[in-house]
Amino acid sequence: MEKMDHKANKLITLGVVLWVSFLSAAVATMLFFATFDPVDLGDIATFPLSLDRMGGYSVGFLLFWLLLAVNSLAVIWLARRPNEPREH
């Protein structure tokens, strides 16, 4: 771990982000789709959207995942204050 180089460190960060957001997305998907049926959502969408259930769950999950991953990455990026010494 001591000798780990910068690139590896970044990859691990990315891995952690993807994994944590994956878990959160799974929880979000469960809560969301236990409450709403994707078929009904397709019916009341403001633009034409035909969703079968598997498609609905899958798209929902992937969207949650993307959103959470982007969010986490942004947090990591911004949380490192500009005046902190940079690692590279």
Beta carbon nearer to other proteins, 82 or 87: 87
Can you state the angle between helices 6-35 and 53-79, rounded to 10 degrees? Answer: 140
Find the binder of other proteins among 25, 58, 69, 80 (CB under 8 A).
Answer: 58
Beta carbon nearer to other proteins, 43 or 52: 52
Q: Establish if 55 lies at the interface with other proteins (CB under 8 A).
A: yes
CA distance 74 to 21: 13
Beta carbon nearer to other proteins, 7 or 81: 7
Tell me the residue type at 45: A
CA distance 22 to 2: 28
Radius of gyration of the chain (CA): 18
Q: Establish if 70 lies at the interface with other proteins (CB under 8 A).
A: no
| DSSP secondary structure code for residue 39 in this structure | H
Give the footprint of other proteins on this chain (CB under 8 A): 1, 3-5, 7-8, 11-12, 15-16, 19-20, 30, 33-35, 37, 52-55, 57-58
